[in-house]
Amino acid sequence: MKISCIQTNPGKDIVQNTQYAEEMLKRLKPSTHSAHVAVFPEVFAVMGGDDLRLNSANDLGDGLFKKLSQWAKEYNVYLVAGTHAEKTGRDDKVYNTATVFSSQGALVDVYRKVHLFNLKDSNGQPLYCESDVFEQGSDTSTFVIPSGDDKWHCMNIVCYDLRFPEIVRREISRSGAIDILFVTAAFTHQTGKDHWEVLLRARAIENQCFVVACNQTGFHSEGKKRNWGHSMVIDPWGTVVAQLQEDVGVLEAEIHKETLSSARARLPALQDRVFKS
């Protein structure tokens, strides 16, 4: 399977951001022998205040979600489409929703971010709280990507979810081993430099799966905030097989089912679990 992580640095202009995202998709060279999966970061279409989140929100099937479906079909990719604000029926809250589209444009997975990042100072006063504008999701899900004779069992998590390993283990207990864990993120520079790779490699090792992590990069919010970049692909043994630094661009990698079976045979940790609920 071919993986293309599109690492972006979006600002407040949703038109400009989505045009750039589509231009990156246009430049991808399609795979002729296996599935080709393109991945966007979390909230790739707009970065800014809560008002931008609310005003840019769409219902599933409309707006940007409809455009993402069209892109997947037009450019013949499975599109792990980062996240975008989804309407909840309330005026003050939206979901931070991750979607996946098949190469025929079908919506194959919807995941609404469960763990919301609420940062407070030493006095307990809020500094940045996602729960001010985002409604908490309530469940996880999985999806399958066919590639040649193989079928890949996949799962989406988003940014702050990465710090909670039980979210993946719970899903493994429900639906079986995960082959690819997609992590779409706007992971900050401050925490990313110390935690990003460590957490990603841990999730790959403990779940014996590939981790495909697509992160935002660069400064935003009038230069007041910065994301870490360093999108990467990690194999089930915990080895980083491909990585970007902090420039915008596309990270490409090939992954193979044989790598999964080899790692799981070499160390059958998933089979040896005692607590499975």
Interval 6-25: pLDDT, tens:
999 999 999 999 999 999 99
Domains in the chain, number:
1
Interval 114-142: pLDDT, tens:
999 987 777 877 778 999 999 999 999 99
Catalytic residue among 2, 113, 154, 171: 113
Q: How far is CA 81 from CA 22, 62, 109, 129, 133, in A?
A: 11, 14, 10, 23, 21
Catalytic residue among 2, 5, 42, 154: 42
Predicted local distance difference test score (pLDDT) of residue 119: 77
In a domain, 55, yes or no: yes
Whether 23 is catalytic: no
Predicted local distance difference test score (pLDDT) of residue 120: 74
Q: Is the dihedral of CA 173, 150, 41, 249 positive or negative?
A: positive
Interval 59-113: pLDDT, tens:
999 999 999 999 999 999 999 999 999 999 999 999 999 999 999 999 999 999 9
In a domain, 122, yes or no: no
Residue 74: both structure tokens together: 């037009």
In a domain, 224, yes or no: yes
In a domain, 54, yes or no: yes
Kindly report whether the global pTM for this prediction surpasses the value 0.95.
Answer: yes
DSSP 8-state assignment for residue 161: G
In a domain, 205, yes or no: yes
Instruction: Calculate what percentage of the chain has a pLDDT beyond 90.
Output: 91
**Average of per-residue pLDDT values in the chain:** 96
Whether 171 is catalytic: no
Whether 42 is catalytic: yes
Predicted local distance difference test score (pLDDT) of residue 174: 97
SS3 220: strand
Q: Residue 149 — pLDDT band, cuts 50, 70, 90?
A: very high
Question: Which residues span the domain enclosing 101?
Answer: 2-113+140-266
Q: How far is CA 106 from CA 38, 61, 65, 179, in A?
A: 15, 10, 11, 21
In a domain, 124, yes or no: no
In a domain, 236, yes or no: yes
- Taking Cα atoms as reference points, which of 38, 36, 31, 56 lies closest to residue 46? 56
What's the CATH code of the domain at 94?
3.60.110.10
Catalytic residue among 86, 130, 154, 159: 159
Predicted local distance difference test score (pLDDT) of residue 247: 97
Spell out a b/e string for 48-59, using b for 16 or more CB atoms within 10 Å of the CB, else e: beeebbbebbbe
In a domain, 272, yes or no: no
